[in-house]
Amino acid sequence: MSSSVSLRYGELGDQVADVFLPADVDAAGAVPLVLLFHGGFWRAEHDRRHVEPFARALAQEAGCAVASVEYRRVGAGGGWPTTLTDTARAVDLLPSLANAAVGAQIDLSCVAYAGHSAGGHLALWAAARHRLPTGSPGRTDTPPAIRGVLALAPTADLAAADALGSGRGAVAAFLGGNAAAVPDRYAAADPAVLGAPAGRTVLVHGTADKALPVTMARSYAAATGATLNEVPRAGHFDVIDPDSAAWPVVVSALRSIIRRPNGRGSVTVTDASMLSP
């Protein structure tokens, strides 16, 4: 079982994160850090608690620290732009805060972002903040110094997700309207129009995902050069379930980001049933 510590990256109630460490962190020395954003279509009724088993298992299996990040969500002070500014604040502050909290056992030169569903959107957005239009909330002048992004069934195209009605209008609720009504917000928030994120980007998406179709991930990977690992017969939540067939694919994808040089890849259809954890 991994150990954990809770941190605050701001004064507001939802500006918190739980950091999970592998059981043998003392023997391993400094470990990579993964900043993990949970999904739930950016809505307040969904919080980081539902990804805790996944975060704990990922820390142990991949030998890294996993910071499960909370942020303001629609219905509790979130939405445009506060969900994004919380995300930016979290990725800017949590690496040093986490390192201090665990006794300098984190390798600050080996940081990655990860997220599932709406959290996958936030991870992709955070890694592309240097590509935001001038004046956009959260914009930076330089790319983040990260190894890359692990996006699990991400909302990689906000306009497309809104057109599909994903999450019963979740995108419009998040941004305050559709792309025709608030085009400037989509231009500053949609990974599909921002271009390639910093570092190596790897997507894992199930072919049986009914919440967000795998075609969205395929289009994003083709446009940005990201690597896409498709998991046959996997659904939307299988990619964050340590007991699912998608689990070894997810772990392998993370290891490819935090252990290997940055690079660009192609689509891979992975039959997870042929792998072992």
Write down the pLDDT at residue 259.
Answer: 81
CATH number at residue 261: 3.40.50.1820
pLDDT one-digit tens code per residue, 96-116? 999 999 988 999 999 999 999
Domain count along the chain: 1
Judge whether residue 198 has pLDDT over 90: yes
Token output for 160: 């497309």
Q: Angle at CA 37, nearest 5°, toward 202 and 268?
A: 15
**For residue 68, what are the CA distances in angstroms to 10, 32, 109, 159, 274?**
15, 14, 19, 27, 30
Domain that holds residue 153: 3-274
Judge whether residue 29 has pLDDT over 90: no
- Between the two ends of the chain, the Cα-to-Cα distance in Å is 17
